[in-house]
Structure 1
Amino acid sequence: MSENEELSYSAAIQEASKSICRFPLIPVEGIPLRSSIANNFDAISAFCPDSSDLLIATYPKAGTTWTQEIVDLLLHNGDAEACRRAPTPVRSPFLEICYPPPIPSGLELLSKMAPPRIIKTHLPFQLVPAGFWEKKCKAIYVARNAKDNVVSYYHFDRMNMTQPEPGPWEGYIHKFMRGDLPWGSWYDHVKGYWEERDKRNILYIFYEDMKENPRREVERIMRYLDLSLSDDIITRIVELTSFTAMKENPMANYTCVPTRVYDRSISAFMRKGEVGDWKNHFTPEQSAEFDADYQRQMKQADIPFRTDVMSDKQTVIPRSLLVPIEGILLEDHIAEGLEAVSAFSPHPSDLLVVAYPKSGSTWTLEIIDLLLHNGDVESCRRAPITVRTTFLESTVRLRSKSGLDQLKELDPPRVIKTHLPFQLIPVGFREKKCKTIYVARNPKDTLVSFYYFHHMNKTCPEPGTWDDFVRKFMRDELPWGSWYDHVKGFWEERHKRNILYLFYEDMKENPRREVERIMKFLDLSLSDDVISRIVELTTFKNMKENPMANYTFLPNEIYDQSVSKFIRKGEVGDWKNHFTAEQAAEFDEDYKKKMKQVNIPFKTEF
């Protein structure tokens, strides 16, 4: 689009600005919409898209403009100039928007564009024109946590002179909770698309994930659009869509809208773009009331929202110190919270997955999640593994919520991971007779993997040299204590405590057999085709490439995957590339001494 056409769009808004007012709300099928939209809704509802059109849907102020810019750059191979051909609302029309003439409505702009078109909407799922689903159009939905969303919407309503008067902050929160704002209930909005995401080919993404790891989410969108761009182009797109670059981009920052309509002396259209800014607005009382209402309205939904993420600007976290608890060495931040962990009361339907570190926990958790979701890959890519399953003893040192806080927000049955030895497991798991899966890996390969993990995990204690680390392992001086006591503790209790005891080596040798064992233990019955799909989805190669399982969602300040990948080799027998003949002999002698009273069938090679 030419510069003159771009200016004519701005000029049209300027010309109509005297007719602009804070439009009242009129309900459409129970959803409050601005009167200018409600009065034209028959035409909006009748819109017939082309099957190649892409719909970008969000609740207002949830990351719409950001996503529109990412998509436009992906479709133009990262060409910044091509994506500055016109303002965002011209390049990617707002389906339902209607303003006084001569401002073109969304429908008018779309009528002049040839497919494929990028179409924005804030309509809840039930009000989206049926043609989008009949034509099987692709749709991207962006969801933002409720607290940051309400803060951003409040400031937007203050500066946007077409929105109803927001009133004071205290009252605005209650309007949000009641669903009395334009485009209705945030709760129903995010749930509506979540529930339809699998049936309707909807890519459901989270604003917080985009902030935490923008490259990963750009790549997800790229794959969804069946595109393949080079790493350099993806890097450029990530840079061009950073908050700073977007805020300074006149084709994306809505400076095309005159101050009479968007009063930027009150608030910028792109204000902060932070995760967790809600903490600067909610009082403790407001937060408590909001949280209680959230629990009530979202209790039937399992949508993994986060109200905080690890920021690139945060200070590098120092390596942990080790503290003994009942003779077991634990990282200091975990030791501090262990009393609360010990008091945790599970539900009888909860599933506990236990392993000594680097023994196959993530692999097993992914298998379980796929089994519980009938092999549906999209369901199991709904969120990172740390959100889909809960690490019982984890703390806020590395995550936005502790494991215990995360569990409070989830309804049973829950999949709960732990590295705690048997004697430190909360007694509630035994009292409630919860099912437990234990994964054991031979000590030599476990040691090698744990060594590399210590190098890449910048919060673990300093590993020292390889020789030092071998001796720490043999002396039980690593986090979570003695490998020997760990594997023996669960082995000795496996028959009394409803524990399925698995071996990493068996999972590598015959993954289908072990997947079927887990399935039967969980009292599930899946078809052969679904089992085959699960085995394929959880191969080492697929796990390593799965951004929801490979821990690339954690920043490099925590997991520096340039040092070593979280999912590194996954081989049985890799220890031979690390142990000297003398180390292996000394290790074997120590193993025989510590394990002579127990007959656990470990394999160190096939």
Structure 2
Amino acid sequence: MENSKRHPMAGSITGEYFVSDDGSVRVPALMTRPAAFPKVREDLVAYTWNDSDFLLASYPKNGTNFIWEIMTMLVKGSANYANIVKGALMIDIFPIGESSQLFPSPRVLNTHYRTDVLPQEFRKGKTVAILRNPKDVCVSWYYDMKNLASINSQSHLFEDMNFSQYLPRFLHDKDAPYGTYFDFVEYMWSLRNNSNILIVFYEDLKLDPLATIQKLNEFMETNRSIDLIQQIAEATSFDKMKEGKLLLSLSKDLIKLEHADNEKGHSLLKQLKTRMGHIYRKGGIGDWKNHFTVAANKKFDDFLRQWEGGKSIPFKY
């Protein structure tokens, strides 16, 4: 692949890949702590699916945090924010054997991997896949990648790369983190008629949250009332959820704040706000219009016209 199409964070941090049954798809196995990966993989292979659980499969920046929170509220029957971190139930990074001891079923497990590269057990249960229009994903993933690179001391990979330079890497590099968005979406969309799969669009969640949450309620068979669905919709609006999750994080760190001087307390608050800013950056529809040049948009549209697997997907831009 020519260098202009090579993703700056291409390849597997762990040196390992998740591979589909027929061997045609290889997705980099990612871990912020590569040494922990063997235990994560061991637990995945050994796991027996619990039918009271749900799986959320979402490519990064497709609205994972929002729909996980909604699904968890439906499971718990409450519009209160989850007091656990989503990452603790993310089978990509946390050994599921350990999370099962800490967080008993029913629960919402989540992954950024397409399900055909996961063990068969993870394809048995009720699975929700959330899809978002590729232009907004490209923008949001670019900013998140820059943040991840800085956390992993790889900031030099993005220092001189602007969005226009990043775009062809998003389009073409199959060795990018979690593989390409297009392969993920195409495969998950192909499962849309399976009885244990529900496809939800991020834009529908934003434009008509009540109808979308009701669809989730029916699919998950949680039988929640219209009143609770209304409360969940209100609690998970972008601004309210961003503020609510920040306050929840602050409440967990109250002891640190109480025993910190003003300077340390302000530093902690700043760190939490920064973290929330990365997770909940804008959350809108159409932010791509603020980043795409005319030439970049043409290049993207040309790619989409050639993407046969995406022609039937009703994206909203």
Asked if TM exceeds 0.5, the reply is: yes
1:323 CA displacement = 4.0
State the TM-score, normalized to the length of structure 2.
0.76
How far, CA to CA, are the matches of 1:415 and 1:434 in structure 2? Answer: 11
Superposition pairs of residues 394-405 of structure 1, within 5 angstroms:
394-395=93-94, 402-405=95-98
Counterpart of 1:372 in structure 2 is 75
In 1, Cα distance between equivalents of 2:309 and 2:87: 37
Deviations 1:396-449 (A, max 9, x none): xxxxxx44411233332221010111221221133xx31111001111111111
Of 205, 209, 215 in structure 2, the residue corresponding to residue 517 of structure 1 is 215
Please say if residues 126 and 197 of structure 2, whose CA atoms lie closer than 8 Å, have aligned partners that are also in contact.
yes
Partner residue in 1 for 2:169: 472
Say whether residues 1:600 and 2:313 are aligned partners. yes
Residues 495 and 565 (structure 1), Cα distance of their counterparts in 2 relative to 1, 3 Å cut = same
What corresponds to 2:291 in structure 1?
Answer: 578
Relative contact order (C-alpha < 8 Å, sep 6+): which is higher?
A: 2
User: Is 2:274 aligned against 1:561?
Assistant: yes
Q: Name the amino acid aligned to 1:436.
A: T
Displacement of 1:535 in angstroms is: 0.6
> Aligned equivalents of 2:280 and 2:51: distance in 1?
32
**Alignment match, 1:419:** 112
For residues 324 and 484 of structure 1, do their structure 2 counterparts lie closer, same or farther at Cα, with a shift above 3 Å needed?
A: farther
User: After superposition, where does 1:503-542 map in structure 2 within 5 Å?
Assistant: 503-542=201-240
1:51-109 CA-partner distances (Å, limit 9, x unpaired): xxxxxxxxxxxxxxxxxxxxxxxxxxxxxxxxxxxxxxxxxxxxxxxxxxxxxxxxxxx
Aligned residue for 2:103, secondary structure, equals coil
| 2:257 match | none
Partner of 2:60: 357
SS at 2:57 equivalent:
strand
- Structure 2 counterparts to residues 220-299 of structure 1, below 5 A: none
Match in the other structure for 2:141: 450
Q: CA contact under 8 A between 2:74 and 2:217: conserved in structure 1?
A: yes
Structure 1 counterpart of 2:196: 498
Counterpart Cα distance in 1 of 2:238 and 2:86: 16
- In the other structure, the counterpart of 1:329 is 28
What is the distance in 2 between the residues matched to 1:412 and 1:551? 23
CA-based RMSD:
3.0
Contact 2:53 2:106 in 1 (8 A): yes
**Which one has a bigger Cα radius of gyration?**
1
Aligned to 1:331, the other structure's residue is in SS state coil
* Residue 129 of structure 2 corresponds to residue 392 of structure 1: no
CA contact (8 A) 2:75 2:107 kept: no
Q: Deviations over 1:525-574 (max 9, x none)?
A: 22222221111000001111023698777989998827953201001100
2:264 alignment partner in structure 1: none
- Within 2, Cα distance between the matches of 1:384 and 1:356? 18
Q: 1:331 to 1:516 in 2, by over 3 A?
A: same
Tell which deviates more after alignment, 554-563 or 498-507: 554-563
Query: What amino acid maps onto 1:382 in structure 2?
Result: N
Matched-pair contact (CA < 8 Å) for 2:43–2:96: no
Q: Which residue of 2 aligns with 1:590?
A: 303
Does the CA-based 8 Å contact 2:69-2:82 persist in structure 1? no
Q: What corresponds to 2:83 in structure 1?
A: 382
SS in structure 2 at match of 1:438: strand
TM-score, with structure 1 as normaliser:
0.41
One-letter code of the match for 2:53? D
Is the 8 Å Cα contact of residues 543 and 550 (structure 1) preserved in structure 2? no
Q: Kindly report which structure 2 residues correspond to 1:105-184, keeping only aligned pairs within 5 A, or say none.
A: none
SS in structure 2 at match of 1:436? strand
| CA distance, structure 2, for counterparts of residue 547 and residue 563 of structure 1 | 8
Residue 330 of structure 1, CA deviation: 3.0
C-alpha deviation, 1:350, in angstroms: 1.3
The counterpart of 1:488, out of the listed 186, 196, 199, is 186
Identity among equivalent positions (%) equals 28
Cα distance between partner residues in 1 of 2:183 and 2:191 = 12
List per-residue Cα deviations over 1:6-64 (Å, max 9, x = no partner): xxxxxxxxxxxxxxxxxxxxxxxxxxxxxxxxxxxxxxxxxxxxxxxxxxxxxxxxxxx
Query: What SS class does the counterpart of residue 121 from structure 2 fall into?
Result: helix
* Cα deviation, residue 335, structure 1: 5.7
Instruction: Work out the CA distance in 2 between the residues paired with 1:485 and 1:537.
Output: 32
Q: Return the alpha-carbon distance in structure 2 between the equivalents of residues 404 and 500 of structure 1.
A: 26
For residues 474-529 of structure 1, give each alpha carbon's deviation from its aligned partner in whole angstroms, at most 9, with x where no partner exists.
Answer: 12342110111101111112323510100001111101110100011111222222
Q: Tell me: CA distance 1:511–1:376, structure 2 relative to 1, closer, same or farther (3 Å).
A: closer
CA–CA distance in structure 2, aligned partners of residues 415 and 459 of structure 1? 28
Gap runs ≥5 in structure 2 = 1-11, 20-25, 254-267
Aligned twin of 1:348: 51
Q: Secondary structure at the match of 1:570?
A: coil
- Structure 1 alignment gaps of length 5 or more: 1-319, 396-401
Question: How many aligned positions are there?
Answer: 273
CA contact (8 A) 1:353 1:438 kept: yes
Q: Contact between 2:72 and 2:82, CA under 8 Å: does it hold in 1?
A: no
Aligned to 2:258: none
**Are residues 544 and 564 of structure 1, via their aligned partners in 2, closer, same or farther at CA, if it must alter by over 3 Å?**
closer
Equivalent position SS for 1:547: helix
Q: Distance in 2 between matches of 1:460 and 1:503?
A: 34
CA distance in 2, matches of 1:467, 1:406: 40
Show the counterpart of 1:232.
none
CA distance in structure 1 between the aligned counterparts of 2:138 and 2:270, rounded to whole angstroms: 24
Question: Is the contact between residue 352 and residue 434 of structure 1 (CA under 8 Å) also seen in structure 2?
Answer: yes
For 2:178, the aligned partner's letter is W
- On the 8 A contact 1:493/1:499 being kept in 2, the answer is yes
Q: Is the 8 A contact 1:455 1:563 kept in 2?
A: no
